Amino acid sequence: MTHWMFNCKEVSRKVSLSLDTSLPLHQRVMIRMHLLMCRYCNRLRKQLLILREAVRLEKIPEDTGGQPEGLSGAMRERIKKAVREALP
């Protein structure tokens, strides 16, 4: 039986997926309908967007072979600040 709306588990997975790829229109509509009714999934979506913004990759130094060595102190502070500002 096909459901007419996604459940929270499906929405959380698809919201995360939608940050990396474009979803078909019918899936975006179903997600939007769910988000209008579910404050928990809406909160998850907002948190993922905050994390995405906070963790924008800094330029990777060429002398590391293209691999980041970890987050710099400035990046850690930027993430902490973004999370603090986003919390109610």
**Cα→Cα distances 35→2, 39, 70, 80, Å:** 19, 7, 34, 26
pTM of the model: 0.59
Structural element, H or E, at residue 82: helix 73-86
**What distance in Å separates the CA atoms of residue 30 and residue 65, rounded to the nearest whole number?**
43
pLDDT digits (tens, 9 = 90+) for 6-34: 899 999 999 999 988 899 999 999 999 99
**What does the pLDDT read at residue 73?**
77
Cβ–Cβ under 8 Å, residues 54 and 78 = yes
